Structure 1
């Protein structure tokens, strides 16, 4: 099926975060990294910012030839298992679209964006120098 990548915003801050301690996004990343250790075809990547500061904690899931999803409002203390279950459903689809009724509640209420798969390159029109190559 190919690799699924989970991007986790490590700069997300939630109300009540200890200013001296790790931010909520970093805590979520740590929880996901530990729970996903050894998972086949899943890569958990920290990112500096997903620009969804009003909906912390935020993650994005992407894979080749599949829709990309961005989810927010995740709880760093309890969301890791929920996210991983949602990713398993995502990975089991041919296009990344999990039927609504099969999505975890947190994915239904936390969805921020759905982005189409990256388009295939267009062939160069006949008669252009690029087409001759």
Structure 2
């Protein structure tokens, strides 16, 4: 299993940015970095996932699997996001059965992108 959990570190999540204070996306990334990361899951900061109205945003991706983008995430969601990334990684195609998904994963989905095909 090799899963990338991209975290938008520029997401403001509707907050007014205060100089010297980290934005919501950076705080989420920091919270994820403080948690024990499941084997095969890599947390990667990215500059923007273009989901600004739904920040803080994250994306799960892996070769040969569907990519998922989720929004409206916060620091308190870090443990659930890591568990969800691990569940995603245990699938062959990235499709975790609906009933096995955490509620925040079911309700905060922004996009599902098909896997790239070799041409």
Return the TM-score normalized by structure 1: 0.83
What are the superposed Cα offsets for residues 30-62 of structure 1, whole Å, 9 maximum, x if unpaired?
A: 11122145x421111100111100001100010
In structure 1, what is the Cα distance between the partners aligned to 2:36 and 2:114? Answer: 25
Gaps of 5+ in 1: 122-133
Structure of higher RCO (CA pairs closer than 8 Å, 6+ residues apart): 2
Q: Which residue of 1 aligns with 2:23?
A: 23
Among residues 93, 114, 117, which one is paired with 1:116 in the alignment? 114
Residue 13 of structure 2 contacts residue 53 of structure 2 at CA under 8 Å; is this kept in 1?
Answer: no
- Deviation of 1:89 (Å): 1.2
1:79-111 per-residue CA deviation (whole Å, 9 max, x = no partner) reads 100101111211111110001111111111110
The residue matched to 1:32 in structure 2 has which SS?
helix
Name the counterpart of 2:100.
102
Match for residue 67 of structure 1? 66
**Per-residue deviation, residues 101-124 of structure 1 (Å, max 9, x unmatched):** 111111111100001111122xxx
How many residue pairs match? The answer is 118
Give the alignment of 1:1-133 within 5 angstroms. 1=1, 3-16=2-15, 19-20=18-19, 21-37=21-37, 39-76=38-75, 78-121=76-119
Which structure 1 residue ranges, 4+ long, deviate > 4 Å from structure 2?
Answer: none
Q: Which residues of structure 2 form unaligned runs of 5+?
A: none
Q: Tell me the distance in 2 between the aligned counterparts of 1:17 and 1:57.
A: 14
> What is the aligned-residue RMSD (CA, Å)?
1.4
**Structure 2 length-normalised TM:** 0.92
Whole-angstrom distance in 2 between the partners of 1:65 and 1:36: 25
